[in-house]
Amino acid sequence: MTTTSLPRTGLTTDGLDLTTADPERRAALVAGFPFPFPNPTYRYSTNVEPAGSAVVTPAGQWGDCVVDVDVEYTAELAERAEILERDPSRHAVLPHMRVACWDAMLCLMRELAAANPATMELTLLETGSRPRYRWRNDVLGIDTAFTYGLESTLPAEPLAWIGQQVQEDVVLLDQREGELFGDAGVVTFAADWSFGFDVGMSFLEIHGPVPRLHAEGVITRAQAFLTRLQPGEVYRRTNWTLTIGRRLDVSTELYDQWGPDRESIQLLDDTAFGALVHLRTEVQHLIRLPESGAVMFLIRSYMLPLEEVARVEHWRTRAADVLEELPQDMADYKGIAKYRDRAVAWLRAAG
Residue 305: what residue type? P
237 an active-site residue? yes
Inform me whether the pLDDT recorded for 175 exceeds 70.
yes
Choice among 237, 262, 342, 348 that is catalytic: 237
User: In 3-state terms, what secondary structure has residue 285?
Assistant: strand
Q: What is the pLDDT of residue 3?
A: 32
Length of the chain counted residue by residue:
351
Position 219 confidence tier, pLDDT thresholds 50, 70, 90: confident
Give the rounded distance of the alpha carbon of 309 from its chain centre: 19
Q: Where are the domains of the chain?
A: 2-349
Segment 123-147 mean pLDDT:
97
Q: Which of 87, 107, 34 is nearest to 302 (CA)?
A: 34
The pTM of the full predicted model, rounded to 2 decimals, is: 0.92
Confidence of residue 18 (pLDDT cuts 50, 70, 90): low
Mean pLDDT within 45-54: 90
Any bridge partners for residue 303, and if so which? 280
Question: In DSSP terms, which residues pair with 282 in a beta bridge?
Answer: 239, 301
Looking at residue 21, its pLDDT comes to 67
| DSSP assignment letter at 191 | B
Indicate the SS3 state at residue 180.
Answer: strand
Nearest to 45 by CA among 315, 238, 182, 332: 238
Q: What does each C-alpha distance from 57 to 64, 284, 315, 317 come to in angstroms?
A: 13, 18, 9, 14
Any alpha helices (H) in 2-123, and if so which ranges? 23-31, 73-86, 98-115
Q: Is the pLDDT of residue 45 over 70?
A: yes
